[in-house]
A and B are shown apart, each in its own frame.
Chain A
């Protein structure tokens, strides 16, 4: 009985560590798109890491893109580049960009001449992955 309890705790612990490591690994993947390793250009991080555990639903948040900057949005949810769909809208709900139209590209640059508050919505592409950790990073550079 004691052994079973220990095994149970060990498995539970391992799954937690694995979850944390998975998310941490995704941060590194996203970083490589910001720092010029996997995509041209070097972007300054906004200093935040956006993580959500998605299970057939969407994560959404608001941010402001300042005029005179180009932003790079990077997403990852696993070893393949195309698991995540992200959509950027203005506050009226108009779609400004979605990577759905571009083979779920893991990153995209948004040139912003005038400041705009936006919502960014992320979801997993259900044909490829149904549940798991997603990480997004936002970087910027001057136009």
Chain B
């Protein structure tokens, strides 16, 4: 195909204009694009994929620790299982699982266990091409701060955020979603198992609170399921959702109060969560089975 001689220069100009369009407007002269005032102009939004959010699994580990439930190493995924994870999907899911194990052990200041899981996390991140997040600097900081719970949480969460950023920038959003899903599964598994042993109302409440997060996880997995790779996991999550839909949540809105000077808003709503014992047992049985499929 022969191109018209004017085509490429025009394309070049178009590209320059397109690139210039993404520049910021000068602060001193705010201008509004004419299109905004044009009711016929298209209101397109070019999202970087859909935006999803999964609460940090560290928060559930923290709640478990604060509930004075003793550390239980038997709950962790065996580090020797790492050799079983040969596909990117299993590596990503188990990175989320091992990452949560690492956070759980670190919160309880189980230093030798933490270092063992840290080494496993490092191996998996290398397999997934995420060396940058768990680099030498991270390892040094981790070892130096192993006695400080707050610093450990900061360091581990920063490393996972770095991985998340890297994966999203490199169009590997499914891998990012699978890591988050693995982390969530592990924290729910911990909560169910530790509640079985201690029967703690705060942990039961935390389990019930996962209803909304599970919906988000199913949405994420569906969003990145173009080659049907997530189909079985989605189906398992949907089965789990049937039980979560039975959790009773009563919510009452009350106006929040804001302290402008402190840039702080305090929420005042009422929220009551009721989880029937049978539902709790079903959730425990299902999450154990889903985790087993992923880890073994």
Which residues does A use to contact B, with CB under 8 Å? 1, 4-5, 7-8, 11-12, 14-15, 18-20, 23-24, 27, 35, 39, 42, 44-70, 78-80, 90-92, 94, 96-97, 102, 105, 107-117, 120, 126-133, 137-138, 140, 142
Contacts and interface: CB of A to CB of B under 8 A. Distances in A.
Interface residues of B, number: 72
Contacts of B136: none
Interface string B240-282: 0000000000010100101010111111111101000000000
B218 to A, nearest CB: 12
B68 interface: no
A62 B216 contact: yes
Contact of B267 (A56, A58, A107, A112): A112
B267 A116 contact: yes
Interface string B50-66: 11111110110011000
B193 interface: no
Nearest to B27: A80
Nearest to A4: B8
A13 B36 CA distance: 29
B164 interface: yes
Nearest to B183: A47
Nearest to A3: B8
Nearest to A97: B265
A140 B212 CA distance: 19
A49 B179 CA distance: 13
Given A114-B271, A117-B212, A126-B36, A47 B161 contact: yes
B199 to A, nearest CB: 20
Given A23-B169, A47-B58, A129-B24, 12 more contacts: A1-B8, A8-B12, A11-B12, A47-B180, A52-B48, A52-B51, A61-B50, A66-B63, A96-B267, A110-B264, A114-B271, A120-B53
A96 B45 CA distance: 25
Contacts, number: 204
A43 to B, nearest CB: 9
A94 B270 CA distance: 14
B39 interface: no
B56 A61 contact: no
B235 interface: no
Contacts of A79: 24
Nearest to A9: B15
A143 B286 CA distance: 32
Interface stretch (B123-131, B137-145, B152-160, B287-295): B152-160
A108 to B, nearest CB: 5
Contacts of B62: 142
B51 A50 contact: yes
Given A66-B59, A130-B25, A96 B265 contact: yes
Contacts of A7: 12
Nearest to A56: B43
Contacts of B205: 115
B83 interface: no
B32 A130 contact: yes
B33 A115 contact: no
Contact of B15 (A11, A60, A91, A96): A11
A66 B18 CA distance: 43
